[in-house]
Structure 1
Amino acid sequence: MRRLPFLFALLFASSISHAEPPELDWLELMPDDDRQALEEMPDISHDTPEGDGDFTARGGLKQKARDLPAVMYSAKTVPALNGREIRLGGYPVPLENDAKGRSTAFFLVPYPGACIHLPPPPPNQIVLVRYPKGFRVEDISIPLWVDGRLRVEKVSNELADAAYAIEASAVEPVEEEAL
């Protein structure tokens, strides 16, 4: 009978260690003033140049328009999120692949087609995901759950500017209705 409490404690500890991290909403990545500015923003054009070819030739996720409200260029972050284990749902924009064709680095964005619709999300709505284990991206319109440690980290390359990065511990496809 002395083993029963030990077994319950072991089962409880095991279930805690395999629990999913808390889910983070994309708007939580924005400071309050940015969130308010986004809510008050007038409608903007969402031209869709899908027929123009590869999105990387057009600049990808980088803001090209200079006449948008300031919130659309914002790289302001929420420092309290730095180092938190989180779960974030979004859509991949592949960057680097391993020898087996699995994506080991990609940008995660809040909506599908962010790389081909203009304007793209602001830097504080783009997250660089590093996942050395790799994940096969079959279709960029299939949403993913990304679990891992979020970092406030400015990342800039020819494709995008991001204000956050995640060292992913897990990446998995998710039903879009669950996002």
Structure 2
Amino acid sequence: MRRLACLVLLLCCTLARAETPETDWLELMPPEDRKALEEMPEISHDTPEADGTFDQQGGLKQRDKNLPAVMYSAKTVAALDGKQIRLGGYPVPLETDAKGHSTLFFLVPYAGACIHVPPPPPNQIVLVRYPKGIALDDIYAPIWIEGPLKVEQVSNDLADAAYAMDAGVVRLVEEGDL
């Protein structure tokens, strides 16, 4: 009996430590948006940003009004609302605490999204609230976020996001994760 109790305890501890499976960014897009993205023609990068000169406004908001509609899409996947997920991406810091740790940031699928053309659509941007804060010394270093995803429209001067998360875990991606 004692041995069975130990095995049950070991199994419970192992399950408790198991990471939430990774969610792919494309899972945040409804099927019709994924299809439209796959069929989208190549986008020109002949812009001032590509030449190293940047628009004063910058940010993640779509400024080119001639892109396919999928690049402006805020359509979400309702089944993800409230679902515990783990998502990897790159931070765009918004707010820091007294220690300089980021407590509010956007997570985007690729590094430098705030200066690349075009920025991701709103359904590929997640606003992350993390009161514990994380030191983000390099915004080109990928991070993991984990917590319940919310379908929540967020708009500010920098970006429009279709999702948000009150993250329970935020950490840098480590070599062992790859």
Q: Distance in 1 between matches of 2:48 and 2:17?
A: 41
Contact 1:48–1:116 at 8 Å: present in 2 too? no
Q: Which amino acid aligns with 1:49?
A: E
**Residues 59 and 158 in structure 1, CA contact (< 8 A), matched pair in contact too:** no
Question: What is the distance in 1 between the residues matched to 2:17 and 2:177?
Answer: 20
Structure-1 separation of matches of 2:176 and 2:3: 41
Structure 1 length normalisation: TM-score? 0.92
Partner of 1:49: 49
Instruction: Measure, in 2, the Cα distance between the counterparts of 1:130 and 1:178.
Output: 23
1:178, distance to aligned residue in structure 2 (A): 5.0
Partner of 1:29: 28
What's the secondary structure of 1:52's corresponding residue? Answer: coil
Asked if the contact 1:152–1:165 (Cα under 8 Å) also holds between the matched residues in 2, the reply is yes
Q: In the alignment, is the contact (CA less than 8 A) between 1:63 and 1:120 conserved in 2? A: yes
Q: Which sections of structure 2, spanning at least 5 residues, go unmatched?
A: none
Q: How many residues align?
A: 176
Q: Is the 8 A contact 1:48 1:118 kept in 2?
A: no
- Identical amino acids, percent of aligned pairs: 64
* Higher mean C-alpha displacement, 105-114 vs 169-178: 169-178
Could you tell me which residue of structure 2 aligns to residue 127 of structure 1?
126
Match of 2:73 in 1: 74
CA contact (8 A) 1:63 1:122 kept: yes
Report what 1:16 is aligned to.
15
Residue 12 of structure 1 deviates from its aligned partner by 1.0
1:97 and 1:123 mapped to 2: Cα distance?
A: 23
Query: Are the counterparts in 1 of residues 107 and 126 from structure 2 also a CA contact under 8 Å?
Result: yes
| RMSD (Å) for aligned C-alpha atoms | 1.8
User: Partner amino acid for 1:75?
Assistant: A
Q: 1:58 Cα shift? A: 2.1
